[in-house]
C-alpha cells in the first residue's frame, strides 16, 4: 500500500526531493494537468466501485435465490459443523505446516546440491553430472502421487532395518525427492544466469573454482531465483496435503474423517479456507521479494 501512495504522490505532488531550495511554483499548464488527472482518477474510482458492487450483488442474489441454495448451504457452509470440525482440522493443518517447513529446508539443500553438481565442469565431474541429470530427469517425470504410493506403501513393506516405517516419514521423503528435482532446475537457471565476467573477475583475483561458486556465483544466483523459489514453496504448502493419501492425519484427512460421520462437507471447506489463508501471505511475501529485487519503477508511467 505504501508504495502505491508514494507513487501517487510522485505524479501529482509538486515540490518533492530537494526542490525546496528553489522557488519553483507549478506553472498554470501543470496545475491544469494535475486538476484533470485528479478528476479522472476520481471518476475511475467511482466507476470501479459501482461496477464491483453491482457484479457482487448480482452474483450473491443469483446464488442465494437459486433453487438448491438451502441444501448447498447446509452441506458446505454449515456454521455449527464448521465450528465442531475446526479443532481437528486445525490440528491437522499444524502437521501440514511442520511438513512444509521441514521438507522446504531439505528440498532447498538437496536442490541446491543437485544444481551445483549439474553445473560442474571437466571430465572428473562427469559421473556426478550424469547422476544429477538422471535424478532430475527421473523425478521430474514421475507423478508425485505415484512417488507417494511407491514410497509410502512400498518402503514400509520392505521392513528395512534402521529406517522408520511411519507413513509420515515416507510421505515427506516423496515430497522432498520430487520437489528437489524442480527446485534444482530453478537453482541451475539462476547459476547459469550469472554472467561469465563475474567468474572471470573472481578467478582473476585468485579465487578457486569452489570459492568463486561459494562467494560470487551462488549468492547472486540464489537472490535472483528467490521469487520462483517462493512460488515453489507456496506450491509445496498445498501439496503437503497429498500425504493424506497415506493415511497421515493432516488437515485434509482430518476433514475427511469429520465428513464421514454425517456426509456434511463443511469440514473440507474449512480445510480449504485454512490452506488459502496460509498461502495468501506467502504469495504477498513472494511479490514483495520480487519487487525488492529491482522490478520497481522499470515500467515508468506505462
**Binding stretches for another protein (CB under 8 A):** 197-198, 200-208, 211, 215-216, 219-220, 223
Whose Cβ is closer to another protein: residue 2's or residue 204's? 204
Cα–Cα distance, 238 to 222 (Å, whole number): 23
- DSSP letter (8 states) at residue 295: I
Show the cell assigned to 265.
Answer: 462437507
For another protein, the closer of residues 73 and 203 by Cβ is: 203
Q: How far is the CB of 197 from another protein (least distance, A)?
A: 5
Task: For residue 177, give the C-alpha cell.
Answer: 525427492
Q: What is the distance between the alpha carbons of residues 302 and 300, in angstroms, rounded to a whole number?
A: 5
Shortest distance (Å) from residue 216 CB to another protein:
6
**Which residue is listed with cell 523425478?**
139
Q: Least distance in Å: CB of 206 to another protein?
A: 3
Q: How far is the CB of 294 from another protein (least distance, A)?
A: 9
Q: Which is nearer to another protein, 214 or 238 (CB)?
A: 214
- CB nearer another protein, residue 108 or residue 202: 202
The least distance separating another protein from the CB of residue 125, rounded to whole angstroms, comes to 17
CA distance 211 to 215: 6
Written as one string, the DSSP assignment of 160-179 is -TTS---HHHHHHHHHHHHH
Closest distance between another protein and the C-beta of residue 196, in Å?
10
> Positive or negative, the Cα torsion across 115, 118, 122, 124?
positive
Looking at the Cβ atoms of 159 and 210, the one nearer to another protein is: 210
- What is the spatial distance between Cα 138 and Cα 112, in angstroms, rounded to a whole number? 17
CB-based contact 147:245 (threshold 8 Å): no
**Which residue, 13 or 219, is less far from another protein as judged by CB?**
219
H-assigned helices in 213-265: 218-224, 226-239, 251-262
Amino acid at each position: 500500500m505504501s508504495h502505491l501512495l508514494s507513487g501517487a504522490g510522485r505524479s501529482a505532488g509538486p515540490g518533492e526531493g530537494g526542490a525546496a531550495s528553489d522557488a519553483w511554483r507549478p506553472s498554470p499548464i501543470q496545475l491544469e494537468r494535475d486538476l484533470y488527472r485528479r478528476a479522472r482518477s476520481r471518476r475511475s474510482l467511482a466507476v470501479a466501485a459501482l461496477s464491483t458492487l453491482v457484479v457482487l450483488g448480482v452474483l450473491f442474489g443469483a446464488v442465494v435465490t437459486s433453487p438448491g441454495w438451502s441444501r448447498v448451504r447446509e452441506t458446505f457452509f454449515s456454521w455449527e459443523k464448521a465450528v465442531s470440525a475446526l479443532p481437528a482440522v486445525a490440528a491437522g493443518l499444524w502437521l501440514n505446516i511442520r511438513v512444509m517447513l521441514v521438507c522446504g529446508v531439505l528440498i532447498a539443500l538437496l536442490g541446491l546440491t543437485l544444481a551445483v553438481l549439474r553445473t560442474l565442469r571437466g571430465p572428473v565431474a562427469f559421473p556426478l553430472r550424469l547422476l544429477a541429470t538422471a535424478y532430475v530427469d527421473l523425478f521430474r517425470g514421475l507423478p508425485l502421487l505415484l512417488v507417494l504410493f511407491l514410497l509410502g506403501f512400498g518402503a514400509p513393506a520392505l521392513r528395512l532395518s534402521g529406517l522408520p516405517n511411519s507413513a509420515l516419514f515416507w510421505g515427506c521423503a516423496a515430497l522432498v525427492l520430487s520437489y528437489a528435482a524442480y527446485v534444482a532446475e530453478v537453482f541451475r537457471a539462476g547459476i547459469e544466469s550469472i554472467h561469465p565476467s563475474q567468474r572471470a573477475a573472481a578467478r582473476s583475483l585468485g579465487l578457486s573454482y569452489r570459492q568463486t561458486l561459494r562467494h560470487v556465483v551462488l549468492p547472486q544466483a540464489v537472490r535472483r531465483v528467490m521469487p520462483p523459489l517462493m512460488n515453489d514453496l507456496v506450491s509445496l504448502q498445498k501439496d503437503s496435503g497429498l500425504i493424506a493419501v497415506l493415511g497421515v492425519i493432516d488437515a485434509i484427512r482430518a476433514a475427511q474423517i469429520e465428513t464421514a460421520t454425517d456426509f456434511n462437507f463443511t469440514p473440507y471447506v474449512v480445510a480449504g479456507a485454512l490452506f488459502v489463508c496460509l498461502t495468501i501471505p506467502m504469495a504477498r511475501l513472494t511479490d514483495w521479494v520480487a519487487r525488492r529485487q529491482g522490478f520497481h519503477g522499470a515500467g515508468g508511467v506505462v
